[in-house]
Chains A and B, each alone.
Chain A
Amino acid sequence: MRYAFHWEVLWSGQSGRWLLQGLATTVELSALGWVLAAALGIVSGAMRTVPWRPLRALATVYVEFFRNVPLLVWMFFWYFGVPPLLPEAIREWLFRHGAEFWAGTFALGVYHGARMSEVIRGGIQAIPRTQFEAAVAMGLTTFQAYRLVIVPIALRLSIPPATNESLNLLKNSSVALTISVAELTFQTRQIEAYTARALEALTAGTVIYLVLCVGIAAIMARVEHRFAIPGLIARGG
């Protein structure tokens, strides 16, 4: 059996534009989701280690609640579940301004934030307790000690697993097609539907994901190198 490839379906008709739009949406969705995930992850990961129980409990509830429900369910939750709870005016505005995109961003950010939280917590817990003591002993408040000493060190220690998590987030952005966000996978399926060329369309999608992820991994490797802490074991790439 021979399969005749027709790569031209990827740029003939509307396909090329669809792919580019899908790529742009995937990048936007992932970037915004990542910012949210990183912020939530750093704050909640730090909160889980502070010497004050209510803050620890709050962060633990967040992590366990959001990481233990499938991302797909969160997509549906933010898209179908939440809008009816919002005031009329906000709901109207949302549906005129791509509610599915914002629901997808939220789902990705909050879900991966919970997972990122554990990455950051792992980084913080690798730091000797005496570093924190030295920071507060010079008069820094607990908040300052975290902001200026503990979190900056933890972030550096967390770069490899955080990179992993970031790549997962980017790939998981494809789940947003279930709430009809026109991201990359959504668009490849559209091309497939219009051209009946599944292999070509999926190959295009695969290559784009691969290039994006390898690119991000390369950038993170440079960041890791640039911010490596002198004196720690640091040999990668």
Chain B
Amino acid sequence: MTSFFRFIARHTAYFYFLLYCSISIMLMQLQRKETLDAIRERGLAANAAIAEQLSGFRSIFSLKQDNERLFLQNARLVSKLRHQELAMRDASAIRSLIDHRTDGMNRFTIARVVDRRFSATDNMLIIDAGRNRGIAKNMTVLTPDGLVGRVIEVSRNYAKVLPVINRNFMVSVLTDSTRTNGLLSWRNGNEGIAQLEHVPVSSTLLVGEGVSTSDFSTFACRGIPVGRIARISKDKLFYNVDIRLAVDFSALSHVMICPDKPTMEKIELMESQDVPQKEP
């Protein structure tokens, strides 16, 4: 017995080795059977927590590079976002125009406003539709909300539009309920307000009444809404009428062009002399 203990005492390292190896192999077996999941999970949690702290510490040294990288990335993203916002706005405007088309309007050409010159005295629009798309001088330009203006000049791919809010623009209009005729024009100032002229005080007008283009117009299709009467005041012979325009010119991005050309015969007839010459 004594010699056995002496043997063990002499070879304790082997016994330790065997013991530890057995425990290790047992742990390996248990690990394969997923019995040590809890320990493994805790190990993973500790590992992740320490790694997070270390990466946080390391990131202090790379803050400058990170900032520069983020600035560049931010710039790229802002640029992309702007591009997508514009595309979405265009798509939404086109969808709105298509949705508002009635059967009679199916022939309308849709164009985008590519340039504008809006000042207190001189307003002009450029649209991206020209002769190639069948646009001609004096065609009516409108949106689903109402009248925008008329085409005054056409190139191959573009057209210049004289908007309602231009001193040189005039159109014959008719009130919706009282059927009173008048001439719509715009004076300098408020881009949302135009004036109705040549309405005699004997006529009937109502505030809030709609105003649309009449048959008398030499260019506009009949019945295009123009706006609503905002204010009426009497002068000696005529009313002073303010019309709140239906179209918001400050947010104009897409327009429709009515393909109906003015009948030249009608224009020529109107421009001919009123009194026939006396025959000798």
**Do A and B originate from a single complex?**
no
**B residues within 8 Å of A by Cβ?**
none
